[in-house]
Amino acid sequence: MDVNDLRGLATITMAVVFTGIIIWTFSSRRKKPFDEAANLPFADKDEEDLASSDKKNQE
């Protein structure tokens, strides 16, 4: 086994890993968690706005 065989195995391994990530990403079972994660920045902003308005109301 020489260096070129190792490079070939590494390429095949990376292609399999890449394909697995793509399948995992676009899986219908992952849609709900990904949608929730996509909305997190908006939820944090609302919570920050509420916290800042509560502080203003308390003062």
Give 3-27 pLDDT, tens digit per residue: 999 999 999 999 999 999 999 989 8
d(CA 37, CA 25): 13
Positive or negative torsion for Cα 34, 36, 41, 44: negative
Could you tell me if 24 and 30 are in contact, meaning their C-beta atoms sit under 8 angstroms apart? yes
Q: What is the reported pLDDT for 12?
A: 98
Q: What is the reported pLDDT for 56?
A: 61
Q: What is the band of 1 on the pLDDT scale with cuts at 50, 70, 90?
A: confident
d(CA 48, CA 45): 5
